[in-house]
Amino acid sequence: MKETISKIACISTKLGKAPLELLEALTIPETERTEKLSALKKTLAALELVYLATCNRVEFIVVMPQADHDVAAIRNRILDFFFKTQDKDSKVNFEPDNFRLFSGREAVRHIFEVAASLDSIVIGEAQILGQIKDAHQFCQESALSGSVLERLFSAAYKAAKKVRTETELGQKPVSMASLVALRLSEIIGRNPEAGIAIIGSGAMTPKMAEIIRKRHDNPLYFVNRTTAKVEPFATKFNGKAVSLGDFLEGKQKVNIIISSTSSQEPIFTATGLKAIMADDKKIYAFDLAIPRDFAADLVDSERLEIWNLEKLNILAQKNRRDRFRTVDQASHLIEEQVKAYLKKEITQYISPLFDSAMNESMSLAQEGLNSLFKGKLSHLSPDDQELLLYWSKKILARACYLPAQQLAENIANADLDQEIRLSYFVKSAR
């Protein structure tokens, strides 16, 4: 087993740690991901790569050729890759502490916590696990990821399921959409007849529509460049499909706009909003897109109130405080699952070192039993002799590999750097 846990690294940035502009710059359009990630993997000289980009985080999970890699150097090469020119670099402000760097055991723990939604803006939100699975699958299908990260993510999915089924995080699932719904209820309480427009045809559109319809009967409009993509939503949620062109021309008046598209350029600008705001009513906008659908120079005013992901992060602070006790319980489960994963990986890594002892023991057992079968145990039938030989080998195999399992468990449970221990076995095996 060439790859070890110590070769895994993760470079992470998310809202609350980094400005929205940085996340936008690190978000690769879906149509360009295969090509750009292949180039990034080559630039990093990584064996495997998984790239996760959501509305509030970007993660680079890599397996490096050497265990003694410098995670900060990996981060710097990623930044060089994304900000190749000084002009582009100057447009985005970022600092070293905008990034979290993980390696080895800590990288494993971080990935488990992300999958279990313990590292989310909204603790316990259910969407992140599906996003991780999609990101992992994409990288597998694009030949970016391999067996090491396959085992890691499979274990992370198992840990996330355990957290969701054994703690209260799974009993009252929350999401970014539910945070928007809290603010929506306040707005609609003051404007009972408010019209609501949902922009885009992605996964967030039906989520928001379902939440809205459970609480409100307000006019609901589904806006997209191609109306055919949102007409099924309009039918299902008793709304109306509207083309983006007509909407931007002000042909459909609303008070609330919820936007989550994959557009690489802002959809709403100061000039474009004039037609929408022509009736002098205040617009409440929720921008859930990365990059943003509302231009960065748009600010709150008497006519416009924008809730982007950074402002929604403030609402999420209460969610974190309310769930401290549950998070502590979930963290304990995660630690158990991390140790189980480490034990399994380390056992596979060091077990070959015990092969010679097992093979020699098997040969001695075979030789001894053959001698007994010709002498004192000659009265045994061939079937009994075969059964005795079978169980002797079974017990010997267990006895030979039990030290490997116990050693792996001790390493997994230890606080000291496992690489110090594993490096000894690597040298011994050569």
Q: Which helix (H) or strand (E) is 51 found in, with range?
A: strand 48-53
Return the SS3 of 93: coil
Complete DSSP assignment for 108-174? HHHHHHHHTTSSSSSTT-SHHHHHHHHHHHHHHHTT---HHHHHHHHHHHHHHHHHHHHSGGGTS--
Sheet with 57-63: strands ordered across: 48-53, 57-63, 8-14, 100-103
Q: Which domains does the chain have, with CATH numbers?
A: 5-173+323-346 (3.30.460.30), 176-319 (3.40.50.720), 352-429 (no CATH)
pTM over 0.85: no
Long-range CB pairs of 219-223 (<8 Å, 24+ gap) are: 219/193, 219/195, 219/254, 220/195, 220/196, 221/195, 221/196, 221/197, 221/247, 221/252, 221/254, 222/197, 222/198, 223/197, 223/198, 223/199, 223/247, 223/252
What is the rounded distance in angstroms from the CA atom of residue 377 to the CA atom of residue 71? 62
Distance of alpha carbon 229 from its chain centroid, rounded?
27
What is the rounded distance in angstroms from the CA atom of residue 273 to the CA atom of residue 227? 21
What pLDDT score does 424 carry?
A: 45
2 burial type by CB count under 10 A (0-12 exposed, 13-18 middle, 19+ buried): exposed
Question: Per-residue confidence of the chain (430 residues) as pLDDT tens digits?
Answer: 334 788 999 999 998 889 889 999 999 998 999 999 999 999 999 999 999 999 889 999 999 998 878 999 999 999 999 997 545 545 788 899 999 999 999 999 999 999 999 998 777 787 899 999 999 999 999 999 999 999 999 999 999 999 988 888 766 556 778 778 888 888 999 889 899 999 999 989 999 999 999 999 999 999 999 999 999 999 999 999 999 999 999 899 899 999 999 899 999 998 888 888 867 788 999 999 999 999 988 988 989 999 988 888 777 666 556 666 778 888 999 999 998 898 888 777 777 767 777 777 778 878 888 888 888 888 888 888 888 888 887 887 777 667 766 776 777 676 544 444 454 444 444 4
| Dihedral sign of CA atoms 332, 334, 338, 343 in order | positive
What is the rounded distance in angstroms from the CA atom of residue 121 to the CA atom of residue 151? 26
